[in-house]
Amino acid sequence: MTLRFIQYTKVAALFGLLVLVGCQTDNCDEVAPSFSFHQFEYISADPNNPFAADTLVLWTKFEDCQGDIGIREGDLKNLKTYLFEKLNGEWVKFIPVDPVDSNLLFSQVPTSSKVKDNQKSEGFIEQPFGSIRQNSDTIRFETQLVDRAGNESQVITTPEFIFPN
C-alpha cells in the first residue's frame, strides 16, 4: 500500500513540476520575433465550380518570447509579404498596375487573447493567396512579421514554388 502511495506521489510531484515550468514566463534577450518558412499548400479549384480559383497557401512559423504578436494601434498590416516571379532566369518583384493591389499581399495577424504579456507565444500563420499566377509558373515570396512593439523579424525568403500545369 505504501509503495503505491509513493508512486502516486512521485507522479504528482513530476506533474506539478511540469505545470510550474510550463507556466513560467520567459526572460529573453531576443526582442524581435523569430520567423521561418514552414510549407506551401496548393489547393486546386473545383472543376465543377466556374467561379472557383486555385489557391496557394503560404505557411510560416513564428515564436515570440514577449508574446506581443498582433496588430499595433495605428498600423493596418503587420505581416508584409512580397511576391517575386522568375522571368528569364531572374527574380523580379511583382508590382501591380494599381498600387492599391499591392496591399493584397499584406496581412493582419490578430492579437491572441489567450497570451498574457511576457508569455512566450508560438504558432503558424496561414496566408492564402487566390489566383496569384502572373507571367511565370515559378514564384517565391519575401515576408516579414512585425510585433506590437514594432520589432521586426528577419526577412525570410521562401523556396521557389512551381505551379502545376
- pLDDT for the residue 18: 31
When pLDDT is cut at 50, 70 and 90, the band that residue 73 belongs to is confident
Specify the long-range contacts of residues 42-49, CB closer than 8 Å, at least 24 apart.
42/161, 42/163, 42/164, 44/164
Say whether domain 26-162 belongs to CATH 1.10.3470: no
Among 106, 110, 105, 163, which residue's Cα sits nearest to residue 138? 163
The string of pLDDT tens digits covering residues 136-153 is: 899 999 999 988 888 899
- The helix/strand/coil state of 6 is helix
Q: Say whether pLDDT at 41 is over 80.
A: yes
- The helix/strand/coil state of 100 is helix
When pLDDT is cut at 50, 70 and 90, the band that residue 15 belongs to is very low
The string of pLDDT tens digits covering residues 22-39 is: 444 546 666 889 999 999
Average pLDDT, the chain: 78
Residues 68-94 as b/e (b if ≥16 CB within 10 A, e otherwise) read bbbbeeeeeebbbbbbbbbeeeeeeeb
- The helix/strand/coil state of 83 is strand
Q: In 65-165, at which residue ranges do the beta strands (DSSP E only) sit? A: 79-87, 90-93, 121-129, 138-145, 156-157, 161-162
Burial of 136 (0-12, 13-18, 19+ CB in 10 A): middle
